[in-house]
Amino acid sequence: MELDLMIKNGILLDPAGGSEKRLNLGVVKDAIAYIGEETPAAKRLIDAQGLMVSPGFVDTHMHDEELEDPGTIQQALLRQGVTTALAGNCGSGPSLERVREMRKSPWLNLGYLTGHRALREEVGISDVYRAAAENEIARMEDRLKRELSNGSFGLSFGLEYAPNTSPREIEALCRVLADYPNRFVSIHIRHDGPECLESVEEAIGLAERFRIRVQVSHLGSMTAFGFTERSIRLIEEARARGADVTFDCYPYAAFCTSIGSTVFDPGFEKRWGKGLESLEAASGKYRGKRLTPEIYEDMRQNDPKALIIAHVMNEWEIRACLRHPLCAVASDGVLHNGEGHPRAAGAFPRALRWLREEGLSWPEAVRHATALPAEMCWLPAGRMEVGAPADLVLFSPDDLRDCATFEDQLAPPEGIAAVLVNGQIAVEGGVLSAEPCGRLLSRKP
């Protein structure tokens, strides 16, 4: 057997087995073909002395819906070691027809969820405050069927952004999804802050009634106002009853969304116990500025898609959420015209650092970023074994750290030596390959 590539002398992290061992790893085409102490012949050799070798990171919750953008967010995630990602979250997933046209060769392995709000727009509902009528619901069901048959990974809701969505509308779509194997529903729940517990229960209820998998999105940012522990307990209790509920979290005490969204409708100060001074413009002409009543009015009126970073959550709760054994790291990376929250460029190294600070071993820490999220979406990634996809990240355990900040949002992390996607070297020493190495993923029945 001649290998295409041999990675020598690295410490292989096995998230499933919990082991870290110095072994050689060989790749043939796009799969791991050898793990052992010998050195079979290979066309190319990488010396990973001093480096950890992990399965590539799996990001089940990110945003790549500005399809005119050539792939800024994909590149930012790839530089962090993300090799597989799912876009279209929070209700925003575009139609696959358009995705296939615009995302022919992604930088990483990229799948899409179908967005509930996108479905609404396709049937002509532009008013996010309005409930859908029966005939509109029927048309949304048809479109969802088409998307699921066409390879969508599932359905995403952003209920906070369409606050009067009726149970009838949600249930009709969940009933459609329940007929398709290995699809899930991701839910950005209806309320953050004090009403989040009812909203978590709403998500759990859907998993139970329709026997579908429900992923509660960025649980930290919805609940880290004194409610994270109770929210997780609700999920644990539901799982003990047999409900298929999962969740994810990003490692920042500040969330990010557009100023024109319902999240910033009057009354938000009360939900978070914090005012305009906690809000920072992340894109557009006020980028970097804290909001004043005048800036708030101007942005809401004239630049509603501009992103805001809201420094409003409790970090200790976000940390508690992230270290929970059921919690997947997910970036929720989102950019508007290439600008946004540093999580797009730093979430994974930052989460691993936090998890190490919480006392986890390296295999335990990377499990939250690899095997766990991959299982949550029935993806073959995230495994360190022969036959697994050759999606790998080589990093220096001492140097790994995120560098993206609220000022320098897309600064790449330090300590990532190389990233392999489908057996190809996609990043080496911080430099991207000339051509993208990823594939557009579809879920076939």
DSSP states of 347-415 as a string?
Answer: HHHHHHHHHHHTT--HHHHHHTTTHHHHHHTT-S-S--STTSB--EEEE-TTT-B----SSSTTPPPBS
Q: How many helices (H) and strands (E) does the chain have?
A: 14, 25
Q: Which is nearer to Zn ion, 310 or 427 (CB)?
A: 310
Q: Do the Cβ atoms of 253 and 315 come closer than 8 Å?
A: yes
Q: Which is nearer to Zn ion, 146 or 271 (CB)?
A: 271
SS (H, E, C) 224-246: CCCCHHHHHHHHHHHHHCCCCEE
Q: Which is nearer to Zn ion, 333 or 346 (CB)?
A: 333
- Binding characters for Zn ion, 129-168, by CB under 5 A (x = yes): ----------------------------------------
Q: What is the DSSP letter of 152?
A: -
- Binding characters for Zn ion, 34-73, by CB under 5 A (x = yes): ----------------------------------------
Q: How far is the CB of 217 from Zn ion (least distance, A)?
A: 5
Q: How far is the CB of 113 from Zn ion (least distance, A)?
A: 12
Torsion over CA of 384, 388, 394 and 395, rounded to 10 degrees?
-50
| Span from 62-70, 180-188, 271-279, 389-397 in contact with Zn ion (CB under 5 A) | 180-188
| Span from 83-91, 170-178, 243-251, 266-274 in contact with Zn ion (CB under 5 A) | 83-91
| Span from 87-95, 200-208, 308-316, 425-433 in contact with Zn ion (CB under 5 A) | 87-95
Q: Among residues 103, 117, 120, 188, which is the contact residue for Zn ion, using CB under 5 A?
A: 188
Q: Do the Cβ atoms of 9 and 22 come closer than 8 Å?
A: yes
Q: Among residues 90, 224, 327, 390, which is the contact residue for Zn ion, using CB under 5 A?
A: 90
- Residue among 374, 431, 345, 326 nearest 57 (CA): 374
The Cα 250–Cα 440 span in angstroms is 24
The Cα 247–Cα 250 span in angstroms is 11
What residues numbered 360-399 form the site for Zn ion, per CB under 5 A?
A: none
Q: Which is nearer to Zn ion, 191 or 383 (CB)?
A: 191
For residue 395, the cross-strand partners are 52, 416
The Cα 121–Cα 98 span in angstroms is 15
* Collapsed DSSP state (helix, strand, coil) of residue 35: strand
Q: Which is nearer to Zn ion, 7 or 73 (CB)?
A: 73
Q: How far is the CB of 215 from Zn ion (least distance, A)?
A: 11
| Span from 19-27, 62-70, 84-92, 126-134 in contact with Zn ion (CB under 5 A) | 84-92
| Span from 188-196, 304-312, 341-349, 415-423 in contact with Zn ion (CB under 5 A) | 188-196
| Span from 7-15, 85-93, 110-118, 386-394 in contact with Zn ion (CB under 5 A) | 85-93
336 scored as a contact of Zn ion (CB under 5 A): no
Per-residue tokens: 206 = 């859907």
Interaction site with Zn ion (CB under 5 A): 90, 188
